[in-house]
Chain A
Amino acid sequence: KNEVEQSPQNLTAQEGEFITINCSYSVGISALHWLQQHPGGGIVSLFMLSSGKKKHGRLIATINIQEKHSSLHITASHPRDSAVYICALTQGGSEKLVFGKGTKLTVNP
């Protein structure tokens, strides 16, 4: 069983819709990371969180440590949000990222 499980694997939305991507994990963590990867390969770190909630523009990330669950929300989605969103975790004092399999998001105009 993977240590990091994401759902859904694929998500298609219409522009303007509210989007939620979920991530569950089964191990102790020091932090949970949400990453974005566009076609072409570049990966951008969106959030790193160990408790509570963070917000950047239209993106919101939450984490529930007790339930070992995190969600990434996108409000008022836009076609430029189309990308693969990856949940990853770090443990202890290590920078090693353990990745989920990613969620491919397509936002249609």
Chain B
Amino acid sequence: KAGVTQTPRYLIKTRGQQVTLSCSPISGHRSVSWYQQTPGQGLQFLFEYFSETQRNKGNFPGRFSGRQFSNSRSEMNVSTLELGDSALYLCASSKSGYEQYFGPGTRLTVT
């Protein structure tokens, strides 16, 4: 069974640009969550989606948005990038109420 995949794995953007990250969950998993990891703040929750509905949103500015498609694949978008958005972005999928499986992450560098 294929694991959670994230694309791209690495990304370099400049300030002011926007970026879209993609997450494909394990087949049969309808829940997808996104997390940001930085050396200073550690792991922080961004969004939770279930069956195309956002169930929860973390304490991030409106520049961070996301969505989930009918096949459970999810994307997150960050507009007007800032240097502080440089981070490892992780997604995780699960059958609701069960353990979560993490993807390898997308490492975003903003210059």
Query: Footprint of B on A, CB under 8 Å?
Result: 30, 33, 35, 41-45, 48, 86, 88, 93-99, 101-102
Known contacts A41-B88, A94-B48, A95-B94: does B100 contact A33 (CB below 8 Å)?
yes
> With A and B bound together, what is the CA distance between A24 and B84 in angstroms?
30
* Range for the number of chain B residues in contact with chain A: 20 to 34
Contacts of B64 in A (CB 8 A): none
Contacts of A44 in B (CB 8 A): 102
Query: Using a CB-CB cutoff of 8 Å, which residues 14-68 of chain B contact chain A?
Result: 31, 33, 35, 37, 42-45, 48, 50, 55-56, 58
Interface of B is mostly: strand
Q: Are the C-beta atoms of B101 and A97 separated by less than 8 Å?
A: no
Q: Are the C-beta atoms of A43 and B102 separated by less than 8 Å?
A: yes
Task: State how many angstroms separate the Cβ of B76 from the closest Cβ of chain A.
Answer: 15
Task: State how many angstroms separate the Cβ of B9 from the closest Cβ of chain A.
Answer: 10
> With A and B bound together, what is the CA distance between A80 and B28 in angstroms?
32
Q: Are the C-beta atoms of B100 and A95 separated by less than 8 Å?
A: yes
